[in-house]
Amino acid sequence: MHCELTVTLTYTAHKLTDYSSGTLITAESEAKTAFDEDWKSIETGTPIEELRVRWLGRENGIVNKQLPDLWLKSASKKERPEVGKAINRLKAYVQDHFASGEDLEPGAREIVRAFQAVDISLPGIRRPIGAEHPVLRASRDMCAVFQRMGYSIAEGPVVETDYYNFEALNFPPNHPARDTQDTLFIAGQNSKPQRERLLLRTHTSPVQIRTMEKLPPPIRIVIPGVVHRNDPPDASHSPMFHQIEGLAVDTNITFGDLKGTLDHAMKEFFGSNVKTSFRPSFFPFTEPSAELFISCIICGGSGKRDSDPCRPCKQTGWIEILGCGMVDPNVFEFVKDNGYDPKKVSGFAFGMGADRIAMLKYGVDDLQLFFHGDVRFLEQWA
């Protein structure tokens, strides 16, 4: 049979009007007697935390709040030292009881000791600070390389229109990337004109057009962000991944500027021993276009790891890292009214996968490990 016991605590602090020595002694004695009665109530069921809050609570505790308000505030400057001493003596008296369990029966004393073992007045245990996800760390490290070269960070929406994602980047209407087998379109868009249809951006290149619409040349921007493509997940593909793109537009920019910029960036990110190689390629928004290869950071460009073949570079000694090229004049035509006359300005652009450079830098051989959320894997970068 359970019987709930309610204990009434009756002491109420009163305002002092007489601050003579005798009155202070009497008031202090009354408060101590009242506390002693409350203290004994622990043995009959009063929760010790309730008692602590009543006497030592910061917001309305008798010792810490009520007595300073009722005794000390109205005292004269001459009387305050003695009043303060009386309050401090009472506070020490109360705190000593909570610290020692003094004058209690053994069972109640154990309650006090258990309470003291977990001092709830202390700050809580701080949660350990987490670490940056390796993909975000690699992305920010690469962006920092370009920021040191004078580039600014630019961002844009993940849900884009066909116009910014394809049309303004010189993708013709029949380009395979516009097919739903490659691009994730938002449902219910068929009734809209093609250029207004919404989709999940397949690259961060739309931010290049959006930035050129807002800012006249010269510009130098680097664009990190999430992109989506209709790819089944495997060790090297994911329907959601991260890209870093860059754009530089000014007068008299040449392919040599592109090569020098990217060569410096790769050496800064992967190490000064890395070599770069540019090989012809094709992209709708650049002309001429190239793919940038770096010497394999695993085997040092030899194609072998000891006596075994180097699998990351397929024994060639080179790893493809990004696509790049000079901005196609047709792209500038879409922003010509904002100062991008293709007869007066030129520029280069590049794009790389942040997940890929993270895999290379940190020696990860399966892209899916970045997205499984396994703390045992991720805490390696803590």
Rg (CA), the chain: 36
DSSP secondary structure, 251-308, as one string: TT--HHHHHHHHHHHHHHHH-TT--EEEEEEEETTEEEEEEEEEE-TTTTTSSEETTE
Structure tokens at 34: 């009242």
Find out whether 286 and 349 touch, Cβ atoms under 8 Å. yes
Tens digit of each residue's pLDDT, the chain (382 residues): 344 434 445 677 788 888 888 888 888 888 888 888 887 776 666 677 787 788 888 888 888 888 888 888 888 888 888 888 888 888 888 887 777 655 555 555 555 555 555 566 667 777 777 778 999 999 999 999 999 999 999 999 999 999 999 999 998 878 787 776 788 989 998 889 888 999 999 999 999 999 999 999 999 999 999 999 988 888 778 899 999 999 999 999 999 999 999 999 999 999 999 999 999 999 999 999 999 999 988 888 888 888 888 888 888 899 999 999 999 999 999 999 999 999 999 999 999 999 999 998 888 888 888 988 888 888 888 7
Find out whether 364 and 370 touch, Cβ atoms under 8 Å. yes
d(CA 50, CA 5): 14
Strands (E), the chain: 152-153, 159-161, 198-200, 219-228, 240-250, 276-283, 286-295, 304-305, 308-309, 318-327, 346-353
What pTM was computed for the model?
0.65
Q: What's the 3-state SS for 105-118?
A: CHHHHHHHHHHHHC
Q: What is the pLDDT of residue 1?
A: 38
Find out whether 312 and 360 touch, Cβ atoms under 8 Å. yes
Q: What is the pLDDT of residue 166?
A: 92
SS3 at position 333:
helix
Sequence-distant (≥ 6) Cβ neighbours of residue 331 within 8 angstroms: 168, 169, 170, 209, 285
Find out whether 368 and 233 touch, Cβ atoms under 8 Å. yes
Helices 48-56 & 80-100 angle (0-180, nearest 10): 170
- For residue 328, CA distances in Å to 200, 252, 289, 345 come to 24, 14, 9, 11
d(CA 147, CA 90): 62
Backbone angles phi, psi at 318, to 5 degrees: -130, 145
Q: What is the pLDDT of residue 262?
A: 97
Structure tokens at 89: 């003596």
d(CA 233, CA 331): 32
Q: What is the pLDDT of residue 306?
A: 80
Q: What stretch of H or E contains 87?
A: helix 80-100
Q: Is the dihedral of CA 153, 158, 159, 163 positive or negative?
A: positive
d(CA 329, CA 170): 10
The burial of 292, by beta-carbon neighbours within 10 Å (0-12 exposed, 13-18 middle, 19 or more buried), is given as buried
